Amino acid sequence: MAFPQRVNMSDVARAAGVSVATVSKVVNGRYGVAQATVERVQQVIHQLGYEASLGAQSLRSHRTNVLGILVAEFEPFSTELLKGASAEVTGTGYQLLAYSSGDAAGTAVGWERRSLARLSGTLIDGAVIVTPTVVETKQGFHVVAVDPHTGPSGLPTVDSDNFAGAVLATNYLLSLGHRRIAHISGRADLESSRLREAGFRQAMADAGVAVDERLVRVGGFRIESAAGTAAEMLALPDRPTAVFAGNDLSAISTMDVARCMGLSVPDDLSVIGFDNVPESALVNPPLTTIMQPIQRMGAEALRLLVDLIAGVERDSHIRLPTELVVRASCRPYSPPSSPL
């Protein structure tokens, strides 16, 4: 399939029968062009599909009217955030550029700094950065962080109540009679992961249930690493009867491992996740989870960024509530039958 060459100002000028300088004035809204000529040039621009280069536009006006969403990779969490930001950008006068650093694990410290160096000032006017590892930015360039590694800092931040969500998840399992509850945590470098583990431990302590440290292990928020962790815990002679996974991907991975080991979810093992990504409702059985409003987080971050660029006074930290979503992956604990 052949793609047409990019239309430039010379093409527009030739088709409209005017000079390149006249086209430039029309594109940039400058005075000195007759209205009839403006209309003719605009008609040709529409017919040819001309778009000004973002780099050239930035050099002329110091603005591109484009906002960036910077992520380490496109996985379910960042994809849902992008949906929310994309819906919110409508009517703001901005366009949205989604950019991945290519760091699939999201562990390379400073990936967002390198991404901003490539994009800021010439391609985008501001950025929403998802789970940034560092938070300092160049002066005069607006950035909003979503779920930063170190938690809220001086940078405008949007996150959810990870601690309260973890307490909700653990209390739900406790209410079903489970006492041997495992926690597959996320990455040690993420504040959200630390808060979820802290919420788990707090709920267990409040219930007077001791935490078996063999049942608290790192899953890394990724399917592959969580699978190994789940397999180790489920192979214990006194395995857990329930698992609170640090995110939905880890929970889904745990359910797959349990099935491979001959265990039924929820008959032999109850599993609860965190996030409520679309995949959580599609697995069998559908996953009980903690919903953090991911799309709303993306929308709030985008709106906060637009307001910051416009000079609107706003609170610099937005924390959204989490809630329990009950599906079919958990059931009340029933003691194993005693041999006859």
Q: What is the per-residue pLDDT for 104?
A: 59
281 has a pLDDT exceeding 50: yes
pLDDT, tens digit (0-9, with 9 covering 90-100), for 76-92? 999 999 999 999 999 99
Q: What is the per-residue pLDDT for 208?
A: 98
2 has a pLDDT exceeding 50: no
What are residue 276's phi and psi, to 5 degrees? 65, 50
In whole angstroms, give the CA distance from residue 177 to residue 331: 9
pLDDT band at 48 (very low <50, low <70, confident <90, very high): confident
* For the chain, percent of residues with pLDDT exceeding 70: 89
The answer to whether 51 touches 12, Cβ cutoff 8 Å, is no
pLDDT, tens digit (0-9, with 9 covering 90-100), for 309-326? 999 999 989 999 999 999
Mean pLDDT, range 191-213, rounded to an integer: 97
As a whole number, the mean pLDDT across the chain is: 89
Pick the range with the lowest mean pLDDT from 1-10, 127-136, 153-162: 1-10
Coil, strand, or helix at residue 169? helix
pTM for the model stands at 0.81
195 has a pLDDT exceeding 50: yes
DSSP assignment of 242-308 equals EEEESSHHHHHHHHHHHHHTT--TTTT-EEEEEE--GGGGTSSSPPEEEEP-HHHHHHHHHHHHHHH
Q: What is the per-residue pLDDT for 23?
A: 86
CATH superfamily of this structure's domain 66-159+294-319: Response regulator (3.40.50.2300)
pLDDT band at 58 (very low <50, low <70, confident <90, very high): very low
Q: Which of 212, 195, 232 has its CA nearest to residue 322?
A: 195
pLDDT, tens digit (0-9, with 9 covering 90-100), for 233-278? 999 999 999 999 999 999 999 999 999 999 999 999 999 999 999 9
335 has a pLDDT exceeding 60: yes
CATH topology of domain 162-292: Rossmann fold (3.40.50)
pLDDT, tens digit (0-9, with 9 covering 90-100), for 99-145? 997 765 555 667 777 787 777 767 889 999 998 876 565 556 899 99
* For the chain, percent of residues with pLDDT exceeding 90: 67
Coil, strand, or helix at residue 286? coil
pLDDT band at 155 (very low <50, low <70, confident <90, very high): confident
pLDDT band at 59 (very low <50, low <70, confident <90, very high): very low
